[in-house]
């Protein structure tokens, strides 16, 4: 099986963005160490909006150069770098800390057709120049890939033919956006044309959906309890705050929920079970999402166990352009 360990390389977007050191540099270095010498290749979806926004402020130059150096190190170590867009960076400002307004700017679809074209081209060209190679894969910020028709033409023009934003069976409704993947195909990968949840046999694009898992309410109760009993073990390395996801926290504590397979925090507990599920379903691909900022001492231990047990059995690899 091909296992794709993917990481959204970014700050937080809540009231506190967190520091570059704690959200990006340090936890990514920890991930490098886990893969060293094991033929394990990650895919980092780089939030380019932060890089472009930081360019405007000379006082951020030192941290920006460290981030750029680490992105180049990703490539040097044999990992892959692809495009991740959170367009609210278009309206972000810095005054000793990042001020972000996600209202009417969190999704690319919050912008006009012309603005979408400008943003996608600007972000992709910036990243391609930084890493000296052409990116071809995309992950939408907050999984807000739909309506895909707004992106189709510019993606075709730029050679973006692979997406990994979907987690089948997922549904999330917040004040600022809605994600609905309830009807996404239950496949390892599939072609699509006008919508990421509608399979098209000869479509121009390939979706590598993030693997999904059905979490019991008890899983989230344990997450809640363990985080308070053993904070050093379960506290995120990242020092920022998430944006609100509406009533998701309460819903997850009271019923089953379909959510993505992840290396973040306590979710890493389910990596082996998720792999068993994928194998039992005869899947050829397993896509795992993570965020360096979401690493904990616990999750790094579980990810190490997952890699050590499987790196000689399965292929830990980056996406391939199809």
Burial class (CB in 10 A: 0-12, 13-18, 19+), 176: middle
- Domain membership of residue 322 (yes or no) is no
Question: Roughly what angle, to the nearest 10 degrees, separates helices 271-280 and 297-310?
Answer: 40
The pLDDT value recorded for residue 246 is 59
- Total domains in the chain come to 1
The pLDDT value recorded for residue 146 is 97
**CA-CA distance, 298 to 302, in Å (whole number)?**
6
For residue 124, the enclosing domain spans 2-316
CATH number at residue 151: 3.20.20.510
The pLDDT value recorded for residue 38 is 96
Nearest to 188 by CA among 199, 173, 177, 180: 199
The pLDDT value recorded for residue 253 is 64
Q: Return the number of other C-beta atoms located less than 10 Å from residue 207's C-beta.
A: 26
The pLDDT value recorded for residue 28 is 98
Half-sphere exposure of 276 (CA within 13 A, CB side): 6
Task: Confirm if 142 and 85 have CB atoms less than 8 A apart.
Answer: no
- Domain membership of residue 321 (yes or no) is no
The pLDDT value recorded for residue 254 is 65
The token pair that represents 312 in the structure block: 């000689």
User: Is the previous residue joined to 90 through a cis bond, with omega within 30 degrees of 0?
Assistant: no
The pLDDT value recorded for residue 245 is 63
**CA-CA distance, 81 to 84, in Å (whole number)?**
9
- 3-class DSSP string for the chain: CEEEEEEEECCCCCCCCCCHHHHHHHHHHHHHHHHCCCCCCEEEEEEHHHHHHHCCCHHHHHHHHHHHHHHHHHHHCCCEEEEEECHHHHHCEECCCEECCCCCCCCHHHCCHHHHHHHHHHHHHHHHHHHCCCCCEEEEHHHCCCCCHHHHHHHHHHCCCEECCCCCCCEEECCCCEEECCCCCCCCCEEECCCCCCECCCCCEEECCCCEEEECHHHHHHHHHHHHHCHHHHCCCCCCCCCCCCCHHHHHHHCCEEEECECCHHHHHHHHHHHHHHHHCCCCEEEEEECHHHCCHHHHHHHHHHHHHHCCCCEECCCCCC
Predicted TM-score (pTM) of the model is 0.96
The pLDDT value recorded for residue 244 is 67
Residue 142 phi/psi, 5° resolution? 65, 20
Mean pLDDT by 10 residues, the chain (322 residues): 98 92 98 97 98 98 98 98 97 94 92 98 98 98 96 98 96 86 96 98 97 90 85 94 67 75 96 96 96 98 98 96 79
**CA-CA distance, 304 to 190, in Å (whole number)?**
30
The token pair that represents 28 in the structure block: 């990514």
Sole residue written with tokens 């990968």: 189
């Amino acid at each position: 099986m091909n296992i794709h360990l993917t990481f959204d390389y970014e700050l937080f977007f809540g009231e506190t963005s967190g520091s570059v050191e704690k959200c990006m540099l340090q936890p990514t270095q920890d991930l490098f160490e886990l893969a060293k010498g094991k033929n394990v290749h990650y895919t980092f979806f780089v939030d380019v909006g932060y890089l472009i926004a930081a360019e405007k402020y000379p006082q951020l130059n030192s941290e920006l150069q460290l981030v750029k150096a680490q992105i180049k190190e990703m490539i040097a170590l044999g990992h892959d770098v692809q495009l991740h867009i959170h367009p609210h960076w278009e309206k972000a400002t810095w005054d000793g800390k990042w001020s972000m307004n996600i209202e009417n700017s969190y999704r690319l679809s919050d912008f006009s057709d012309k603005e979408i074209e400008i943003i996608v081209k600007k972000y992709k060209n910036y990243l391609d120049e930084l890493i000296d190679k052409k990116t071809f894969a995309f992950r939408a910020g907050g999984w807000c890939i739909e309506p895909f028709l707004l992106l189709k033409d510019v993606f075709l023009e730029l050679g973006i033919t692979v997406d990994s934003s979907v987690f089948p069976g997922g549904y999330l409704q917040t004040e600022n956006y809605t994600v609905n993947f309830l009807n996404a195909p239950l496949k390892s990968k599939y072609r699509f044309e006008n919508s990421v949840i509608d399979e098209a046999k000869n479509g121009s694009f390939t979706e590598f959906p993030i693997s999904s898992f059905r979490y019991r309410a008890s899983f989230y109760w344990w997450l809640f309890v363990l985080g308070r009993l053993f904070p050093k073990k379960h506290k995120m390395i990242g020092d920022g705050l998430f944006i609100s996801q509406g009533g998701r926290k309460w819903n997850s504590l009271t019923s089953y929920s379909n959510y993505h397979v992840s290396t973040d925090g306590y979710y890493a507990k389910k990596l082996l079970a998720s792999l068993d599920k994928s194998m039992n379903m005869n899947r050829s691909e397993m896509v795992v999402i993570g965020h360096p900022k979401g690493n904990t001492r616990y999750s790094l231990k579980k990810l190490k166990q997952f890699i050590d047990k499987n790196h000689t059995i399965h292929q830990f690899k980056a996406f391939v352009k199809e």
